[in-house]
């Protein structure tokens, strides 16, 4: 089964902490890297995490990575292929506390 191609992620912060959306991606040698972050996402906010704006190369395998300020980071279990300009978005939410949080895929549309 082919991996889904997406153009961006959205991240909704439902947790009691500050989150920063990043992108984990594999380079041509299969090594994992983290992009820069999309800025602070406060409780109740939803923000786009655009791989292209964070320096992720087109066509790479990506997953959402959430940096939790003063807490335990979280990486999505789902992987996608980044396709610049694709209208398809993977929508996530993170809930919980700094040290015990859950990252969940809501939809891909």
How large a percentage of the chain has pLDDT more than 90?
A: 96
Provide mean pLDDT across the span 32-48: 97
The full DSSP string for 26-87 is: E-TTS-EEE-----EE-TT-EEEE-GGGGTPPTT-EEEEEEEETTS--EE-S--EEE-TT--
Provide mean pLDDT across the span 12-17: 96
| Per-residue pLDDT at 63 | 98
Q: Which of 62, 80, 85, 70 is nearest to 19 (CA)?
A: 70
How confident is residue 2, by pLDDT bands cut at 50, 70 and 90? confident
Bridge pairing between strands 61-68 and 74-75: antiparallel
The full DSSP string for 90-105 is: EEEEEEE-SSSEEEEE
| Per-residue pLDDT at 27 | 92
1, pLDDT greater than 80: no
Name the DSSP class of 66.
E
pTM of the predicted model as reported, rounded to 2 decimal places:
0.96
Provide mean pLDDT across the span 14-24: 97
Give domain 5-108's CATH superfamily. Transthyretin/hydroxyisourate hydrolase domain (2.60.40.180)
CB 9 within 8 A of CB 94: no
Q: How many Å apart are CA 59 and CA 44, to the nearest integer?
A: 31
CA separation, residue 82 to residues 7, 23, 29 (Å):
6, 10, 17
């Amino acid at each position: 089964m082919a991996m889904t191609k997406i153009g961006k992620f959205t991240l909704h912060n439902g947790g009691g902490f500050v989150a920063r959306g990043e992108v984990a991606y594999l380079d041509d040698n299969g090594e994992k890297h983290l992009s820069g972050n999309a800025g602070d996402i406060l409780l109740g906010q939803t923000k786009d995490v655009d791989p292209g704006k964070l320096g992720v190369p087109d066509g790479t395998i990506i997953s959402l990575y959430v940096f939790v300020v003063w807490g335990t980071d979280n990486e999505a279990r789902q992987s996608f292929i980044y396709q610049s300009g694709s209208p398809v978005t993977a929508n996530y939410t993170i809930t919980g506390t700094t040290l015990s949080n859950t990252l969940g895929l809501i939809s891909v549309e």
